[in-house]
Structure 1
């Protein structure tokens, strides 16, 4: 039994040479003759009839071992891809950490700017309260015989002269001195 194991083990170890020789030759006897030249130590271990009996089994085992080799290559390739993906993941995690840190810094800067904005708005409101309000100055309905009107954001004077309404533009702020000067300029 150990002789058969040694014989078959020898055939498996040299399967590539044996299968290649079998594929080149159409018949097993021709392949046997060529193998005796290629593997002279095999003649001591294997007899022709034993070789002939193991050829079919060797073909099946060769297919299985080829599939195994392919699986091993695929596994190695997948392992390399997994390692590459792990490396990319690490790099992306580092980048994500940097982005998160920048986001936190930007958020702090934004909150500082918001506080400054609120402070400036508060100061602006205080300044506005200190300024005299234009609406708090009493605006007369008439000045020197001319009517006073606020149209849009502008003050103007109006008066009917010889059947037509005449207008004098004053400006955005009511100024009675300016109004009197413009009336005087209009009268000539």
Structure 2
């Protein structure tokens, strides 16, 4: 999974050339080709974009990750930790070219998700006490702690995921869980 630091590689690409680079990555992903740019094309990009070969490789790898996720989830993740104009270019490129290739990309680029299993749940009420200046502005929240174990790993380590929900969010989750439970309880008509 790419980090915010690796996503920042996109910020180094000239804005007027970024869309062309991203489109090329998308086309090669859809064709299931491992190499996006040939050696001579990389040299041309290095001189044109004033980037090193490592930076170009980073841009390609980050773009592949972004578009693989977009193909799996139907949209570009807006939390890329890149400049706003870069995010806009990535989204625009995906809308213009990527969304039509999404099925091809999703079938050739498997989504890498660890096999996590819920091992433990816990919750607590969180209430911040206000000061005299913030009187009446404190709202309670529920904090759920989910203990998740990576079943594909040989270690028995569990990862803790904390989820903080307001009253409205908690109610919405409750209603969704009830709807799921109703569907599970109803025998299928097949």
Of structures 1 and 2, the one with the larger relative CO (CA 8 A, separation 6+) is 2
TM-score where L is the length of structure 2: 0.23
Point out the structure with the larger helix share. 1
Normalised by the length of structure 1, the TM-score is 0.23
Work out which of the two has the higher radius of gyration on C-alpha atoms and give 1 or 2. Answer: 1
